Amino acid sequence: MHTMWKGSISFGLVNVPVRMFAATESKDVKFRYLHKECKTPIQYTRTCPTCNRPVEYNEIVRGFEYEPDRFVIFDEEELQAVNKPRAHTIDIVDFVQLSEIDPVYYDKSYYLSPESTGTKAYRLLQQAMQETGKIAIAKTVLRNAETLAAIRVYQDVLVMESIFWPDEVRPVQELPNLTANPLVTEQELKMAVTLIDQLASPFEPGKYTDERRDALTKAIQQKVANEDVSIPTPAGTQPENIVDLMQALQESIKRTKAESKPEKKTRKRSS
């Protein structure tokens, strides 16, 4: 893995030297746009629509649009003056319960690996967090931007989750139709709870797969091998148009019961 950042976790008067690595990666199948006639990748140029010509990098400045088509301009020196210098510490400011942070706040995950000189301090912080059941709220600077983060233990490794600032999470009051309060009957609620109980199971990440990506990967391999590609539409993917809520609950419970029953083995008759 590529080291993204080197520094230390500031834990009271204790410094834990660490390296940072991206914890996740996108496996999405990416396509490039080609010219249909000659199959050459398309190039995009920086063009000014007013001057009607390509623009070089040294001709570009940054502007903030405070009104439609009205900008204030910042040069590099002005931007450097307000940017935060790259930090070499992750400063822990609080310890909280993991359950107190709603997942809507989480952004990106990073593994924190100990430097050879800080393995004992690393294990001390990791074990102390596991013992208390707490996670850390910390601040650092990544790419000149001050970052709020949560540090927790995952498989005996410290993981830093960058989290959104409170004012970056949109208020739910902006959503439509929340004031409507239709009456939910006791029978409907009971059946919904039954359905949830039937679908409940331990979280096993390995059983979830990206079926579209798998199909695309297979199609790409077939094309590379000059084979005909045929991706049939899976049967039964169109849901029935069930409008009534009770009917939908009853049908869902019926289907989950049927799916949970083990298949009966048929015996072969002796001739």
Going from N- to C-terminal start, the domains of the chain cover: 5-26+83-167
pLDDT in tens, 245-263: 677 777 878 887 777 665 5
Is pTM, for the whole model, over 0.85? Answer: no
pLDDT in tens, 67-86: 998 999 888 888 877 776 66
* CATH class, 5-26+83-167 region: mainly beta
pLDDT in tens, 18-58: 999 989 888 888 888 888 888 888 888 899 989 999 999 88
Categorize the per-residue pLDDT at 228 as very low, low, confident or very high, splitting at 50, 70 and 90.
low
Distance in angstroms (rounded) separating the CA atoms of residues 129 and 14: 14
Contacts of 41 (CB under 8 A, 6+ apart): 32, 33, 34, 35
Rounded (5°) CA angle 180-181-184 = 140
State the angle between helix axes of 245-260 and 186-199 in degrees (0 to 180), rounded to the nearest 10: 30
Backbone angles phi, psi at 173, to 5 degrees: -65, -15
For residues 99 and 12, is the Cβ–Cβ distance under 8 A? no
Average pLDDT over residues 197-213: 86
Q: Whose CA is closest to 252, among 185, 202, 199?
A: 199
| Tally of CB atoms within 10 A around 141 | 19
Q: What is the pLDDT of residue 266?
A: 47
Distance in angstroms (rounded) separating the CA atoms of residues 159 and 91: 14
> Strand ranges (DSSP E) for 80-214?
89-97, 106-114, 134-142, 145-154, 157-163
Categorize the per-residue pLDDT at 236 as very low, low, confident or very high, splitting at 50, 70 and 90.
low
